[in-house]
């Protein structure tokens, strides 16, 4: 365990950040899963901008890599375009 005051504070901060990142990551993964499960093109088209914004925020915060974010968005767009 940490001995210095600043190190103890850093441990507290990193734990808080880790929990926040896990929450946002899980929420975004659930949103992506829900979007993929939609079969209606109009419903998927309405939900798409919100999910893309969530993915972009994760990449901006550094929770996921920017290339992973772009790959996710690309796959979602492909899926949306293949819907009848």
Q: Quote the domain boundaries for residue 69.
A: 25-82
Domain total in the chain: 1
What's the pLDDT at 34?
96
Mean pLDDT across 24-32: 97
Mean pLDDT across 2-21: 94
Residue 1 placed within a domain: no
Residue 12 placed within a domain: no
pTM for the model stands at 0.85
**Three-class HEC string of the chain:** CCCCHHHHHHHHHHHHHHHHHHHHHHHHHHHHHHHHHCCCHHHHHHHHHHHHHHHHHHHHHCCCCHHHHHHHHHHHHHHHHHCC
pLDDT tens-digit readout, 39-56? 999 999 999 999 999 999
CA 67 to CA 44: how far, in whole Å? Answer: 23
What's the pLDDT at 2?
76
Residue 66 placed within a domain: yes
Residue 2 placed within a domain: no
Residue 53 placed within a domain: yes
What's the pLDDT at 23?
97
| Contact indicator for 41, 83 with CB cutoff of 8 Å | yes
**pLDDT > 90? residue 84:** no
Residue 35 placed within a domain: yes
């Amino acid at each position: 365990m940490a001995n210095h005051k600043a190190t103890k504070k850093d441990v507290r901060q990193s734990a808080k950040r880790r929990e926040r990142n896990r929450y946002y990551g899980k929420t975004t993964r659930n949103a992506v899963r829900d979007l993929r499960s939609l079969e209606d093109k109009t419903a998927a088209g309405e939900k798409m901008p919100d999910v893309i914004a969530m993915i972009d925020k994760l990449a901006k915060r550094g929770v996921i890599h920017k290339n992973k974010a772009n790959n996710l968005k690309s796959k979602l767009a492909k899926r949306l375009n293949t819907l009848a």
